[in-house]
A = this chain, B = another copy of it.
Amino acid sequence: MTQPLTIHPDRLFPAEPQTRAVARKLYEQVKDLPIISPHGHVPPAWIADDIPFKNATDLLLTPDHYVNRILHGQGVDLGALGVPVGRTDFTDEQAREAWRIFCSHYELFRGTPMKYWMEMELVDIFGIDVRPSAETADDIYDAINAKLATDAFKPRALLDTFNIAFLATTDDPLDDLEHHAKLAADDSVATTVVPTFRPDKYLEAGRAGWNELIDALGAKTGIATDTFGGWIAAMENRRQFFKSMGAVSSDHAHIDLGTEPLPREEAEAVYAAARRGEATTEATDALRRTFMFEMARMASEDGLVMTLHPAVYRNHHQATFEKFGADVGGDIPIAIEAVHALHPMLNAFGTNPNFRVIIFGQDETVYSREVGPLAGFYPSVYVGPPWWFIDAPDAIMRWRSSVTEYGTFYKTTGFVDDTRAFMSIPARHDLARRVDSSYLATLVVQHRLALDEAQELANAFVADLPKKAFNITV
């Protein structure tokens, strides 16, 4: 019993007819505006080298841990889905079989944003008109692969099709950013593609391999990193390089938001001990928080916006991590505390007009309690949109409802897709535009906003606020 697959023009809008009419009007106004994607994980090589996508599994399934984890949660072996990315032993027939597994478990995605994204991709991008199922799996697979073999489905063409004006990638501080250089030099690429400075592992002296990273940092910069002061200078050096290559932000994802700096002398001592492999966990945690304070200080000087993605217990299942590596679905959020943790940083830089910090999170309890109030007061603090596990319709509505009343619309950043699933970028932004239109429409019909105010806001969410929050000029 093959079911048709369609996507409704009114999807995600509220059911109540007047509210829906307003939502539709607001959405109409923004639906075709260019996409600004100020934080994400698309590999820049894909675009620089315009590498064609291999097949549906390689594009939509294997690299997408949002999708993988749902299947894994029902007992599907990640290996059968091609995980980890980059395996050379995964045959074409196995890829096709992986797609069949996905399609035959398609009911699992009901009620999830993955279903929303996937269906918009299938219908809008690939022209599929049947619902994924065991019966339709092969036909869909073949239809997608046929499209992928055409020039119109190579990454650069899709950037144009998707109308992506700005795309930030995420990059290691020691990366030479050669792909970015290539793209910047190529007038045929209309999208502005910039790097993002992501130094996490250089700040975590308690992790295996830190000393080698710090050695490499020294080698790359020509600055001796045998002291805390050297680390600072080398980091400033690499931030400058990223900035010169177009970066607008640095990204930081640690287990807590701590920014309490050690006194300089103590920082030097702990740093030295860490270099000798003799620092305690407590000491390396304190050093990491000191580094974060220094990152904020640098940000207040070089103007790179800080984005904070805290409090995820990475690789919760050790055996899965050992077999398949990181980013395969085993990351679980924990609670966030922001008020005390950010106090040192905000006391020092919170009202500095050159400093900006965007707080993301997966802990909804801090929205109305901590993040909204901090953003409402501090000129430097912005509220990032719901992130991973909560970048979905109901959660976005809860976020707007919790943050707006005292954090205000104007201290939010617009939508951030934060994805490595290239093909889902338009769908994710579409989802956000629809949900935001719905939230605004609710305020309009309740006479809490005039229509012209809502119209201005709908535009601001998509264009003005991301540009303002991330210092983007496109």
Seen from chain A, the residues whose Cβ lies within 8 Å of a Cβ on chain B are: 3, 7-8, 10-16, 18-19, 69-70, 72-75, 107-113, 115-116, 131, 313, 316-320, 329-335, 337, 339-340, 343, 346-347, 350-351, 353, 362-365, 368-370, 372-379, 381, 389-390, 392-395, 398, 401-402, 404-406, 408-411, 442-443, 445-450, 452-453, 456-457
Contacts and interface: CB of A to CB of B under 8 A. Distances in A.
Contact of A116 (B395, B408, B448): B448
B394 A401 contact: yes
A15 B446 contact: yes
B368 A409 contact: no
A335 B335 CA distance: 11
Copies of this subunit? 3
A410 to B, nearest CB: 5
Contact of A370 (B19, B70, B332, B337): B332
A408 B73 contact: yes
Contacts of A313: 339-340, 343
A3 B376 contact: no
Given A353-B75, A376-B73, A379-B73, A334 B329 contact: no
A14 B73 contact: no
Contact of A335 (B73, B330, B369, B405): B369
A442 B317 contact: no
A81 B393 CA distance: 39
B448 A333 contact: no
A369 B378 contact: no
A457 B401 CA distance: 26
Contacts of A335: 337, 365, 369
B378 A406 contact: no
A111 B409 contact: yes
Nearest to A404: B111
